[in-house]
Structure 1
Amino acid sequence: MDRPTIHDVAREARVSLATVDRVLNERGGVAAKSIEKVHQAVKITGYVRDQFAANLSRGRGYQFVFLLPAGQSSFVRSLIAAIDQESSRHRKDRINIDVRSSKTFDPAAQVAALRRIDPETTDCAAVMVSDVPEVRRELTKLRDAGVRILSLVSDVAPSGRDIYVGADNEVAGRMAGSFMGRFMRNPVGPVLVIAGSLAARDHAQRLLGFRQVIASDFPGLTVLPVTEGFDDASRVAAIAQQAMTDAPLMGIYAIGAGNAGLLRAMRDVNSAFRPVTVLHELTDSARQGLRSDLFDLVIDQDPARAVTRAMSIMRDLADGGTADAGRGDIPLNIFIKENVQ
């Protein structure tokens, strides 16, 4: 069956095409009786507007904001590259994208950045921010003002966003724990965990999943008190070097970024025994670590896929639609030395 057109609506309502166009695009100058006829005809025919065409006819485009962490980690650079590519691809669709940054893991800076988003000119914002009360309040204010919000890669409480686009980070942590324990010949001893910041929900969720699996499946392993590297390579290197100096480690789980520092620490370690090392995101440093047998496994979420999915959802939300939660799911990929390029 052919899709209903504007001609079908005009014929059902017994009005002109110009009248239907005026009603659907809210141009005014149409009698209330005719407006009612058009709306009734839309219901009867099952006509669905082409929102893009409607936006063009009204001279309206889309204004999207991406708020990402500053500092330009390898993963964030990958996100920005993917955004640039999607922006070029959608320029003909009148989609304008503004990429902004706020200091990594700094709620005050994130609040300030969120306050600089103008609800009058912004349709939708995709954000990577800390899941803390003051940030959630600003997100709620933006939503109340009409801005649709996506949490990207790292989720926030549902009150602060319309949908989350990213991987299931608790599952990612469980995968890390399971692979780490299985890679050990005798899983007994201490494990170092380096997070970026536990104020980031993705890091907290990964830690939760990791601890669950270690406790249930590998009780001989002891997870040391979590250290926060704040995605800084120098800080991560210092943490790893000190921990490997203090005692032989069975494993290292790097939850966040800054893994160029972890790679340096692994290269410099003065020991014949190397801990099993699991980390996230297939950055250049992660590839080097896998190829040189210094890292064992990388759990990756494709940033390009996340951005493509986010852009599609943002456009639908800006048009007044909804998005099922499952639409934001991004699959996880596993990389070891043998399948890394």
Structure 2
Amino acid sequence: MTRPTVNDIAREAGVSLATVDRVLNDRPGVRARTVQAVQEAVTRLGYVRDMAAANLARQRSYAMVAALPDGDSQFLTVLEQALREAGATAALSRTDLTILRYPAEDAHALAAALAGLPDTISGVALMAPETPVVRDAVRALRARGIPVIALVSDLPNSERAHFIGIDSRAAGRTAGVLMGRFCGRSMGSILAIAQSMQLRDAVERRRGFDDVMLAQFPGLTVLPTLETHGSDTTLRAVVTEALRHAPDVAGIYLMGSGHRALSSTLADLGLTGRFTVIGHELTPHTRQALLSGHIDAIITQNMGHLARSALRVLRAKADHSAIDSAQEQLRIEILLAENLTP
């Protein structure tokens, strides 16, 4: 059976080829009833558009932006490098990726930067806290016809078009199981440390972690989350103070950045190796900390997959085409010293 063509769509809908072209390319000037007739014809015929051929024919290019918080986090460095590598490969298919770094604690600066993007931008991948200012900025981009996807940390209450990253609640539950089993179901307290509880991934990780700890390890009490706001000095101060007031600490759950500062703090206090430490994301430091026994386990995701998926999804959103959900689903990975690859 031959594949349906645009000529078949035109005949089925009773319109001209020019009208079909306008509808398929989302151009203005077509009445709503006509658009509906063309779309229904597409569905009835099972027409699948070859977007690569269509874009090549009209010499379409894509200008993408990835907005990441600033700072010296090794995770952000690894993520940016993965995005740049994915962008270099995507350049062969007429895709240009720009990395936009913004002050991590300044949502207004981020909103201003997003508002200043030109209308020629094809899509934005955004890693940011879910605040009212950020939600408004996402809504403004969508109103201009620019698709926005959330990266690493979801923005479910905004008008983002998609989320690229692992299931943070499941990652938190995984951390809970590891923490409880590594602590041997002993009694004691668990320190939980986050950069900011305005980050959706931190909120979901904490919820998942608490679910497991309460249900499976009731002898371990998870203390209120310590927020560092990305500051090594703050992390050192809050951890030192917490350990002074909670001498029964059995484990530390680090939900975001700060692994280097935590290792340094524990070393200075003479407490290296005293606690079970569970963290997130593979970086040069966490790799070395795993090998040296300073961290017991890392829950991570494939950064290359995440970066490539972000660009594929942005292109699909720009083209109004379907997304292969199975291809874009990221898996949770558990790393121990014993299964680290060179």
TM-score normalised by L of structure 1: 0.85
Instruction: Tell me the residue number matched to 1:129.
Output: 128
1:157 Cα offset (Å): 2.2
Distance 2:2 2:122 in 1: 32
- The DSSP-based 3-state class of the residue aligned with 2:257 is coil
Report Cα offsets for 1:165-186 as digits up to 9, x if no partner: 1111011111111110111135
Instruction: Tell me the residue number matched to 1:162.
Output: 161
Q: List aligned pairs for 1:236-251, cutoff 5 A.
A: 236-246=235-245, 247-251=247-251
- Against the structure 1 CA distance between its residues 128 and 24, is the aligned structure 2 distance closer, same or farther, given a 3 Å change threshold? closer
2:255 matches 1:260? no
CA contact (8 A) 2:171 2:205 kept: yes
- Against the structure 1 CA distance between its residues 328 and 105, is the aligned structure 2 distance closer, same or farther, given a 3 Å change threshold? farther
1:5 Cα offset (Å): 5.6
- Against the structure 1 CA distance between its residues 113 and 187, is the aligned structure 2 distance closer, same or farther, given a 3 Å change threshold? farther
TM-score normalised by L of structure 2: 0.85
Distance 2:194 2:139 in 1: 27
1:293 Cα offset (Å): 1.0
Q: Which has the larger radius of gyration?
A: 1
- Against the structure 1 CA distance between its residues 135 and 24, is the aligned structure 2 distance closer, same or farther, given a 3 Å change threshold? closer
Distance 2:272 2:50 in 1: 65
- Against the structure 1 CA distance between its residues 326 and 164, is the aligned structure 2 distance closer, same or farther, given a 3 Å change threshold? farther
More off after superposition, 152-161 vs 103-112: 103-112
Instruction: Tell me the residue number matched to 2:32.
Output: none
CA contact (8 A) 1:105 1:200 kept: no
Distance 1:332 1:26 in 2: 37
1:9 Cα offset (Å): 7.7
1:272 Cα offset (Å): 8.1
CA contact (8 A) 1:171 1:209 kept: yes
Report Cα offsets for 1:137-171 as digits up to 9, x if no partner: 11112112211110010001244201111111011
More off after superposition, 255-264 vs 314-323: 314-323
- Against the structure 1 CA distance between its residues 163 and 12, is the aligned structure 2 distance closer, same or farther, given a 3 Å change threshold? closer
Instruction: Tell me the residue number matched to 1:173.
Output: 172
- Against the structure 1 CA distance between its residues 109 and 10, is the aligned structure 2 distance closer, same or farther, given a 3 Å change threshold? closer
Instruction: Tell me the residue number matched to 2:316.
Output: 316
Instruction: Tell me the residue number matched to 1:204.
Output: 203
1:249 Cα offset (Å): 1.6
Distance 1:174 1:244 in 2: 24
- The DSSP-based 3-state class of the residue aligned with 2:49 is coil
Instruction: Tell me the residue number matched to 1:92.
Output: 92
CA RMSD of aligned residues (A): 3.4
1:11 Cα offset (Å): 11
Instruction: Tell me the residue number matched to 1:145.
Output: 144
Distance 1:215 1:22 in 2: 57
More off after superposition, 233-242 vs 284-293: 233-242
Distance 2:69 2:248 in 1: 34
More off after superposition, 99-108 vs 88-97: 99-108
2:89 matches 1:59? no
Q: Which amino acid aligns with 2:75?
A: F
Distance 1:177 1:42 in 2: 48
- The DSSP-based 3-state class of the residue aligned with 2:67 is strand
Instruction: Tell me the residue number matched to 1:227.
Output: 226
Report Cα offsets for 1:254-304 as digits up to 9, x if no partner: 001121111212333324871110000011111111111111110001111
Instruction: Tell me the residue number matched to 1:213.
Output: 212
Q: Which amino acid aligns with 2:231?
A: D
Q: Which amino acid aligns with 2:79?
A: L
1:135 Cα offset (Å): 1.1
Number of aligned residues: 334
Distance 2:63 2:167 in 1: 28
